[in-house]
Amino acid sequence: MRPAAVKIERNREYDPFARIYNRFWGADYRLEAAPVVARLLLSRVPAGGAVLDVCCGTGQFTEIVRRLGYEVAGIDASEEMIRFARLNAPGVEFTVADVRDFALDRRFDAAYSVYESLNHVPDRAGLELAFRCVRRRLKRGGPFLFDLNRAEAYVLYWNNLDSIVEADSVCVMRSEFDQAARTGKYEVTTFDPVGKASANRWRREDFTLRQVCHDFAVVHDALFRAGFKDVTMHDARDAGMKGDAGYGRTFFLCVA
């Protein structure tokens, strides 16, 4: 049974964060995730095959896959993320669209979604909608790989205060994880210079990012309802993700 039809409002919460993300996160994560994606997913794709980057962010990882010789396309709900992606991966076809409600006019040999992007999907119905959209864009038998944070990652990393201070940018991040509700909140404040540096004027912006720690039984059920099969799970560190980002992270691999 399909989930009830609902109006999907495109997730824009990463628009104000795109510049900071592009500068400080996107490039680092691609180096840690690349070996895992290559081994678990790309090894199943023919040379030159078509691959869809789901929730592609600022496109640094998309560019890695393109340089490996694959024909890549990307989607992301954030228009600002896509703007950076088009700079980081020139020539790649990028589309601004929510993962729960997107349609493309082609099918792909494989798809992936990395850096816990699907933890931003707020509920079970949204997961199923996202999985259905991805499956419809895959050729029969095409693999889909994605990763999700587990509760221990949120407990360790999402009850924290952190900051980035550069000459031309300041970013303060306050995170909180509610274990009972299985929800994480990331409150961000940025300061950016306005006009000439000598003017000593800064613009402040405040916004909130949210994630959900999905129960894996719910994830499995949503995958099967969406039509995926042969679901396997792989701990990120066991799969070759050596950095801190590998802690409390699971990769799901399934087949359309």
The backbone region for 240, taken as left when phi is positive above 0, alpha when psi lies in -120 to 50, beta otherwise, is: left
Output the pLDDT for position 56.
95
Torsion of CA 11, 16, 18, 23, to 10 degrees: -160
Distance of CA 156 to the CA centre of its chain: 20
> Which range among 3-7, 194-198, 199-203 shows the weakest confidence by mean pLDDT?
3-7
Kind of pairing between the strands at 183-193 and 71-76: unpaired
Supply the pLDDT for residue 2: 47
pLDDT value of position 163: 92
* Per-residue model confidence as pLDDT tens digits over 15-52: 888 988 898 877 677 778 899 999 999 999 999 999 99
pLDDT of residue 74: 98
Give the residue, 130 or 192, on which the prediction is more confident.
Answer: 130
Residue 1 banded pLDDT, cuts 50, 70, 90: very low
How far is the CA of 149 from the CAs of 86, 164, 203, 220, in angstroms? 27, 23, 33, 15
Average pLDDT, the chain: 92
Predicted confidence band at 145 (pLDDT cuts at 50, 70, 90)? very high
Distances (CA, A) of 201 to 62, 134, 191: 36, 45, 10
Confidence of residue 3 (pLDDT cuts 50, 70, 90): very low
Task: Quickly list DSSP for 215-237.
Answer: -HHHHHHHHHHHT-EEEEEEETT
| pLDDT value, residue 192 | 86
Nearest to 45 by CA among 146, 141, 147, 117: 141
- Per-residue confidence band for 211, with pLDDT thresholds at 50, 70 and 90: very high
The domains found in the chain, sorted by start residue, are 18-150+214-255 (3.40.50.150), 153-211 (2.20.25.110)
